[in-house]
Amino acid sequence: MNSYAQLDHQYVWHPFTQMRDWLRSEPIVIASGKGAWLTDVHGKRYLDANASIWTNLHGHQHPKINAAIARQLKRIAHSSALGLANEPASLLAAKLVAAAQVGPRRAHGPSRKPRPLAMKDRLAKVFFSDNGSTALEVALKLAYEYTCRTRGPQTKPKFLSLTGAYHGDTIGAVSLGHIDLFHKSFGGMLFKTDQVMAPYCYRCPFNRAEPEREDARKHRKCNWECTSLVAKQFAAQKRRGNPYAAFVYEPLMQGAAGMIPQPSGWMEQVTDLARSHGALLIADEVMTGFGRTGLTCHVTEEALAAAVKEPSQAKLFASTRTGIQPDFLCLAKGLAGGYLPMAATLTTPRVFDAFLGKYEEFKTFFHGHSFTGNQLGAAAGLASLELLQSAGSVRARARLQQTLQRELKSLWALPRVGDIRQVGLVVGIELVKDWPTRAPYPLRERAGIRVCEAMARRGVLTRSVGSVIVLMPPYCTTEPEVKRMVGVLAEAIREVLG
């Protein structure tokens, strides 16, 4: 066994990993990466089909990001954000705020006249931290304190999130989560939050459609029972005299829940409901941010031409794509292009102002991390944003979305593929025992894990969420590389599941 693999086995405890299984075989030890490829210590090359757990945007060793980090490194790697400002973090905050603005179209819901958001309600302030969980933790604590301040000291702020939600692994983020497998064992440490039905058209009990060989959202036969349940939930909490403080959601697609996309119109309905009941909106765009959800649902040549003409206007977030501005926008993973741990929670002057006062009023937000506003991360973030807003990247993303759309069609021929869900540059392929009945694989059969292992043997790396295989390639992935990813996935499914 390679000496680093031996050291790993001896000393390292891996996240979300059954270590007894891990210790049974030699792990892949990554030595380098370039573009969409990773190379291990034996020289074997792998396509990075999940962008190194959903973080990498432009590929590994991108010359512009490398250069930006190297330039910053010659000046300083890190100084504290407690009591000090720094250049790249200030600039990155300004650019994030600019990129997060929504137009007037859906500022106040479809039922009311479109009008621009009041300045107080526009995302304008950035609190930096270092990972997705802390981005959520910050939003949660700010929303909690803001609600106490504005509703009075007797208030017990209550949060609502979606079934299957995953928002990270710190205690606040776990409290918002509703995946028993991950969260149940910590039950005693958590605070109570409520959950409400998330749309999951493929397995929705209200969907009367028979399974088809197409995305289940397209054939949905229902009366929006899921949003009626959301309406009931908000109303019931209001009747209890304590309306929800905040509604937490991943816009357009829930990631760790199983790459579950929302049918068109769902976001508008539920966020309008939340707003009308006085709840703050916390959008978790840790996975969906930075161009992941694509330019539009389907990239037409006209949309692409328009986007390439004005690349700096390309929508980078699911929230800006849908025009629904949250009160908190949580970003991480791709923020520094997938290079460095960097996160941000954006919020409004309305929230910010509630924390202003004389020192002795102690309205300060008493929260922070040692690496808040880290210069190297911010420099990488700036370079990544510049790339995202270039015509070349906009074109590459649109082409990648189209290529995925086309190539994925071949997978419908496999009887073990139940649903293929694509939102922009995120794909979830749900494996089932039998597609006409949607019979699922029990978790203990490790169907998703075994398929990923078979893919790795063939040189394509990704991880499943349950029985859902995730494809989330870096934006530099070429057409032949997508073909290879999809082809290898098909071979692996046939080998493992028949």
Ligand X SMILES: Cc1ncc(COP(=O)(O)O)c(C=O)c1O
Interface with ligand X by CB under 6 A: which range of 163-171, 193-201, 212-220, 484-492?
A: 163-171
Report in angstroms how near the CB of residue 269 gets to ligand X at its nearest: 21
Choose between 201 and 465: whose C-beta lies nearer to ligand X: 465
Cβ atoms of 36 and 61 within 8 Å: the answer is no
Per-residue binding letters, 216-255, with ligand X (x by CB under 6 A): ----------------------------------x----x
Report in angstroms how near the CB of residue 326 gets to ligand X at its nearest: 14
Report in angstroms how near the CB of residue 341 gets to ligand X at its nearest: 7
Report in angstroms how near the CB of residue 312 gets to ligand X at its nearest: 26
Choose between 33 and 255: whose C-beta lies nearer to ligand X: 255
Alpha carbon distance 179, 166 (integer Å): 7
Report in angstroms how near the CB of residue 117 gets to ligand X at its nearest: 24
Interface with ligand X by CB under 6 A: which range of 38-46, 113-121, 125-133, 380-388?
A: 125-133
Of 229, 174, 177, nearest to 204 (Cα)? 229
Please name the residue that has the structure tokens 């629904």.
324
Report in angstroms how near the CB of residue 249 gets to ligand X at its nearest: 10
Position among 50, 133, 161, 175 found at the interface with ligand X (CB under 6 A): 133
Report in angstroms how near the CB of residue 255 gets to ligand X at its nearest: 4
Using CB under 6 A as the binding rule, whether residue 168 contacts ligand X is answered as: yes
Q: Tell me the C-alpha to C-alpha distance, in Å, between residue 348 and each of 101, 220, 245, 473.
A: 11, 36, 16, 33
Using CB under 6 A as the binding rule, whether residue 132 contacts ligand X is answered as: yes
Choose between 55 and 325: whose C-beta lies nearer to ligand X: 55
Position among 137, 284, 407, 419 found at the interface with ligand X (CB under 6 A): 284
Choose between 286 and 408: whose C-beta lies nearer to ligand X: 286
Using CB under 6 A as the binding rule, whether residue 56 contacts ligand X is answered as: no
Interface with ligand X by CB under 6 A: which range of 176-184, 217-225, 282-290, 406-414?
A: 282-290
Report in angstroms how near the CB of residue 167 gets to ligand X at its nearest: 5
Choose between 123 and 488: whose C-beta lies nearer to ligand X: 123
Alpha carbon distance 357, 276 (integer Å): 29
Choose between 96 and 332: whose C-beta lies nearer to ligand X: 332
Alpha carbon distance 164, 315 (integer Å): 27
Report in angstroms how near the CB of residue 457 gets to ligand X at its nearest: 25
Cβ atoms of 147 and 245 within 8 Å: the answer is yes
Residue numbers 427-486 binding ligand X by CB under 6 A: none
Residue numbers 330-349 binding ligand X by CB under 6 A: 332
Alpha carbon distance 407, 306 (integer Å): 25
Q: Residue 193, Cβ neighbours under 10 Å: how many?
A: 20
Which residues contact ligand X by CB under 6 A?
Answer: 131-133, 136, 166-168, 250, 255-256, 284, 286-287, 332
